[in-house]
A and B are shown apart, each in its own frame.
Chain A
Amino acid sequence: MSEAIQARQLSFAYPGLDGGVGQTVFSDLNLTVEEGSFVAVLGSNGCGKSTLAKHFNAILLPCGGSVSVWGMDTQQEDRLIPIRRTVGMVFQNPDNQIVANVVEEDVAFAPENLGVSSPEIRRRVDNALKQVGMYEYREHAPHLLSGGQKQRVAIAGVIAMEPRCIVLDEPTAMLDPKGRREVLDTVLRLNREKRITVVLITHHMDEAAKAQRVVVLHQGKIAADGPPKQVFSQVELLHSLGLAAPETVELCWRLNQQGFSLPLDCLGVEECAQALYQALS
């Protein structure tokens, strides 16, 4: 597998109010996202998750070090559009990223910007809407849809660019449990079936548990990196970073404090129940 996104010695600080250097977010961050993978980025508020995401498609540019997307350096201004069509981005609030007042017109927005021909736009729009399961709603007004549906329309709007990677910045933070499931299932399917690289920024542990790899950020540094089972079994580390482990792991860990010796890598409810059953019998 080749690397999709690579951050090398990335440092970044937001500009201060008086024109000077403001708060430093990263000082020396190295991270590589493999092509076709599903990476979850976790971290408590203000750890730099969203700032990192905005570096992946050149919305923010590094102050030092570099970010490259399929070999394209984000600092190269003439590569801006190729970079942005390669790495699509979905934000937290679905209301603030939908441009048009008809679903299909909104999904067509990105390919229209790219100057794609009309029949090709039609094909991409229909395709994207089918992939997120919103094809029947193509003529609806976005403000009449539910949160989960709106967020799926936003995802379709990004897929219509035919990107190789999608970065989702807390896409489920404003949704109810049903909407969260709809969005997460859509993202998982896109990753599995279309081999689209996914970077999911979240603070829901159960969402991160579905990824292939979990990266925990803390104060602009990578605090843990590895497969979900490995990262979430470090319960003390997660607690010291102000995070909680997934509920099942948390349960096993607490029982272990009381003298049990349960494995700390059961992420699913079934798996956890099985482990408890074995420990008791």
Chain B
Amino acid sequence: MLKDITLGQFFPGNSFVHRLDPRTKLVMVVAYIVALFMAGNWLSYLVAFGFLAYSIIISRIPLKAITRGLRPLMIIMIFTGVLNIFFTDGTHVIFSVFGLTVTLEGLERAFFMVTRIMMLVTATFLMTYTTSPIALTDGLEALLGPLKKLHMPVHELSMMMCIALRFIPTLIEETDKIISAQKARGADFETGNLMNRVKAMVPILVPLFISAFRRADELAVAMECRCYQGGEGRTKMKLLRYHRGDFLAFSAGALLIAAVAILRSFGL
């Protein structure tokens, strides 16, 4: 049952977006978010929307996957929308109920805020859907590389992420085994009130933690045996390289920001 959890929600593929360097995609997401926050009118929103829609189409990610990803954010979006509708000052009053007025400006603002959240989240989803977790980790390490000079443990962080990703399936399998073992000895996880159910988790968590620590210890020795000495002097088998597509993507990102900035300065 626990095995069904998908991780990183990576959809393997070979589209233009998939083949982009992970660093490019990370930078593009940041650029896109910047563009979204700069956008302040209908036309610039339309440009940003077009950009995203085109990226989704060429990535060949099923639209269903994206809508499914957005569903948990429904509450936040509705909340943001409602707040903006009622609490924006405006002159064009449409109607008012119980002392709350709904204005044209409020409606417009609510629409902008909600679509902004939607597009922002969709853009990050597009990145995680088209990039394997390990590539993403590599990309992050490369992008944050300059911070090493400021004594930020960049390599250690990416190593930790990599090991965590590696051990999640192993630990899930182990949890399944422990649950079965405790059930076989008569443990009851399904009945009783909330308090009882939380208490029933203890016999699962204790052995799981003990085993995780034992694994960590063995892994550390095994890593030492394979000459691990931290990030210093370490090389990589797969070097990250920018290709023609990455430059294309970067230019498109720059164009997007420029377009939004121009539209903003004209106040259209």
Q: Which residues of A contact B (CB under 8 A)?
A: 57, 59, 81, 84-85, 88-89, 91, 93, 95-102, 104-105, 108-118, 121-122, 125, 141-143, 157-158, 161
Contacts and interface: CB of A to CB of B under 8 A. Distances in A.
Given A89-B225, A112-B237, A113-B234, A101 B166 contact: yes
Interface stretch (B79-87, B99-107, B215-223): B215-223
B237 A118 contact: yes
B235 interface: yes
B209 to A, nearest CB: 15
Contact of A108 (B166, B170, B233, B237): B237
A89 B226 CA distance: 8
A93 B167 CA distance: 14
B234 A115 contact: yes
B162 interface: yes
21 contacts: A59-B224, A84-B224, A84-B227, A88-B226, A89-B222, A97-B222, A101-B162, A102-B134, A105-B134, A105-B237, A109-B226, A113-B226, A113-B227, A113-B229, A114-B227, A116-B235, A118-B237, A118-B238, A121-B235, A121-B236, A125-B237
Contacts of A158: 225-226
B166 A59 contact: no
B226 A161 contact: yes
* Residue in B133, B225, B239 with the greatest tally of chain A CB atoms within 10 Å: B225
B237 A99 contact: no
Contact of B166 (A104, A125, A142, A157): A142
B155 to A, nearest CB: 11
Given A102-B134, A105-B134, A161-B227, A95 B237 contact: no
Interface of B: 133-134, 162-163, 165-166, 169-170, 173, 215, 218-219, 221-229, 233-239
A98 B165 CA distance: 12
B218 A113 contact: no
A97 B133 CA distance: 20
Contacts of B215: 95-96
Given A112-B234, A118-B239, A98 B226 contact: no
Given A57-B225, A157-B226, 17 more contacts: A84-B226, A89-B225, A95-B170, A95-B215, A96-B215, A96-B219, A98-B166, A99-B162, A101-B166, A102-B134, A108-B237, A112-B234, A112-B235, A113-B227, A118-B235, A118-B237, A143-B173
Nearest to A158: B226
Contacts of B134: 100-102, 105
Given A59-B224, A142-B166, A81 B237 contact: no
B171 to A, nearest CB: 10
Contacts of A105: 134, 237-238
* Residue in A99, A104, A118, A141 with the greatest tally of chain B CB atoms within 10 Å: A99
A84 B229 CA distance: 12
